[in-house]
Amino acid sequence: MRRRFDARRYPVIRARVVEGEVLRGAGRYRAVAKLTLHGQTREVSADIRLTIQGAVMLVDGRQVINVKDFGIDPPRLIILKVEPEVDVDVHIVADLQT
């Protein structure tokens, strides 16, 4: 998969949140982001949980993306087929003091 993602040419995966919406339940939001992967940018949305513990902010979320949307063909291994959907788990820890 590393070769399929062409990690040498595209070493960075970038996500920039462009919109947010408060959901029911404490700390729950829907985030819309511009995701850049393999040199292509697509808009994705996911539900996230945001919590603040003292001076630390935690953001957790999960989203399934289809790598074909980013121009990546999953490999085929003789009779085995690799599905194009990938589970992406995000865990961000931010220090609010800096």
Which residues, other chains included, contact 16 with Cβ-Cβ below 8 Å and sequence gap of 6+?
A: 33, 34
Q: Which residues, given as ranges, of the chain have pLDDT below 70?
A: 1-2, 98
User: Quick one: pLDDT at residue 64?
Assistant: 95
pTM of the model: 0.80
Structural domain boundaries enclosing 28: 2-95
User: Quick one: pLDDT at residue 1?
Assistant: 65
**Overall number of domains in the chain:** 1
User: Quick one: pLDDT at residue 82?
Assistant: 83
Which CATH number fits the domain that encloses residue 55?
A: 2.40.128.110
Q: What is the pLDDT of residues 47-65, one digit of tens each?
A: 999 999 999 999 999 999 9
